[in-house]
Amino acid sequence: MEYYYFKSYKEASKKGAGIIASQVILKPNSILGLATGSTPIGTYKELIELYKNKTLNFENCKSFNLDEYVGLNHEHDQSYYYFMHDNLFNHINMKEENINVPDGMAKDVDKFCKEYDEKIDREGGVDIQLLGIGSDGHIGFNEPATSFSIGTHKETLKDITRKDNARFFKSLDEVPTHAITMGLLTIMKAKKILIMACGQGKKDIFEKALHGPVVPEVPASILQFHPHVYAIFSEEGCN
Ligand code: F6R
């Protein structure tokens, strides 16, 4: 595991973007695994800058997002599809047909999840997966005690996760109760992992995940068994 520590969120974001940039430069048709949330916003801003100054070209890249709320359509401003377009895709030259975000409106969720994993496999697998971490140690929406060996699936969100995310909705009641998420197995199949956390509120859980016992109660702890992880922490928070 390569561990990077920064005081400033901006510096941490630059490092995160640099790691993704080197992946894209070395393999222009990279498959990027992407995340939403507050943590990666700075990294996405840096990637947009690198695209604008012509250092990066996403024309041949494809992306698979980690997760999506069940019941939110693309137009909903809290859907992860909307978030990704607003914070990244609308500002770079990734082709819409190469963008994959789980479909929160899928009629047959189980079928959708199975096909999402199959599509990732067909594309040759994710080259680098970007992750944030929840205050309960979740990655994607894999809540504590989720099986380590599960693929993309529908997850019931814990109260703590719904409360953490309520800041983006008008009220707690509006926060969806379920999400589609890449499973820990799907995440662990990525060739490289980049996990980022920012702010004092994430310090303990980040430490516990990366250095504590590997247990399903701390889903991110499974990353200790991944052969190629970059971990970036910034003292400064991101929101
Ligand atoms: C987002 C995701 C979540 C977040 C986590 C941290 O796609 O899968 O696991 O990464 O909840 O969220 P922030 O960055 O808002 O603290």
Q: What is the DSSP string of the chain?
A: -EEEEESSHHHHHHHHHHHHHHHHHH-TT-EEEE--SSTTHHHHHHHHHHHHTTS---TT-EEEESEEETT--TTSTTSHHHHHHHHTGGGS---GGGEE---TT-SSHHHHHHHHHHHHHHTT--SEEEE---TTS-BTTB-TT--TT--SEEEEPPHHHHHHHGGGSSSGGGS-SEEEE--HHHHHTSSEEEEEEESHHHHHHHHHHHHS---TTSGGGGGGG-SSEEEEEESS---
AA letter at 87: N
Write down the pLDDT at residue 112: 98
Gap from CA of 66 to ligand 1 centroid (Å): 10
- Is the predicted pLDDT of residue 221 greater than 90, yes or no? yes
Catalytically annotated residue among 68, 117, 143, 164: 143
Marked catalytic residue, from 136, 217, 235, 236: 136
User: Average pLDDT over the chain, rounded to whole?
Assistant: 97
Q: Residue 129's pLDDT is what?
A: 99
CA of 118 to the centre of ligand 1 (A): 24
Atom of ligand 1 nearest to the CA of 165: 15
| 81-115 per-position pLDDT tens digit | 999 999 999 999 999 999 999 999 999 999 999 99
The contacts of residue 70 (CB under 8 Å, 6+ apart) are 104, 109, 154, 176, 177, 178, 179, 180
User: What pLDDT was estimated at residue 127?
Assistant: 98
More confident residue, 160 or 215: 215
pLDDT at 161 exceeding the cut of 90 = no
What percent of the chain is modeled with pLDDT above 90? 96
Q: Indicate whether residue 102 lines ligand 1 (CB < 6 A).
A: no
Residue 218's pLDDT band (cuts 50, 70, 90) = very high
230 has pLDDT over 80: yes
pLDDT band at 160 (very low <50, low <70, confident <90, very high): confident
- At 164, the pLDDT band (50, 70, 90 cuts) reads confident
Give nearest CA residue, ligand 1 atom 4: 132
Question: Could you tell me what percent of the chain has a pLDDT over 70?
Answer: 100
Residue 146's pLDDT is what?
87
CA of 205 to the centre of ligand 1 (A): 13
* Nearest residue (CA) to ligand 1, atom 11: 134
Say if pTM beats, i.e. exceeds, 0.95. yes
Residue-wise pLDDT tens digits, 110-149: 999 999 999 999 999 999 999 999 999 999 999 999 899 9
Give the pLDDT confidence of 165-189 residue by residue, as tens digits: 898 899 999 999 999 999 999 999 9
